[in-house]
Amino acid sequence: MKKQLRQQILARRNDLAAAVREAKSEIIVKKVLELPAWQQASIIMSYVSFGSEVATPALIKAALAGGKRVAVPLCVREERRLIASEVLAFPADLQPGTWGILEPKPESLRPLTPALIDLVIVPGVAFDRGGNRLGYGAGYYDRFLADLRPGARTIALAFAEQIVPDVYPETHDRPVDMVITDTEIIEPARFQTKAWIANASS
């Protein structure tokens, strides 16, 4: 069921015209920049967008320009895990890596322990209104998010077309605190008592 849903939503996302994805991405990035959770975070980690994903270069550049420390993921395929690596110059510190996604160059690798990260910007294929996430099937982010400190926040970026009634989460799947789309901000009820979301909603 997950495989079929993944294929369906990926096809839906890929069918969006490039200009439409660009416009939607700009809306989403603007919403992120207005969040108290973003403004208060000192160290963030963001995925580097690839293919038809919500574009993150503008977000990463804004974070660096605003004086935040920024990390991006390095995929270690042999161990099926992610390393957070600090970026000082974007995109100069990066080169095409696993699956063609931009990753830190060997000479630019600056690992950060997950416990230091305040906020993680998470990719995904589909999301439901409970904050549950359907990824690409390898489990890299589920394992990484499990190592964050308790106070760290997780925000997923998605186009409205990626929101579905149910992603059929399993026990090892890690939900996110918030999903931001071009049409709405989804705040799962179990996270709404957190001050950072209460502030964002006021």
Point out the annotated binding site for ATP: 2-6, 133-141
Q: How far apart are the first and last CA of the chain?
A: 38
Q: How far is CA 94 from CA 29, 79, 89, 97, 128, in A?
A: 21, 21, 9, 9, 32
Binding site per annotation, positions for substrate: 48, 53
> Is the separation of the CB atoms in 105 and 93 below 8 Å?
yes
Return the SS3 of 86: strand
Q: What sign does the CA torsion over 82, 39, 32, 172 have? A: positive
In whole angstroms, give the CA distance from residue 60 to residue 200. Answer: 21
DSSP string, 53-84: SPP-HHHHHHHHHTT-EEEEEEEEGGGTEEEE
Binding site per annotation, positions: 2-6, 48, 53, 133-141
DSSP string, 145-182: HTTS-TT-EEEEE--GGGB-S-----TTPPP-SEEE-S
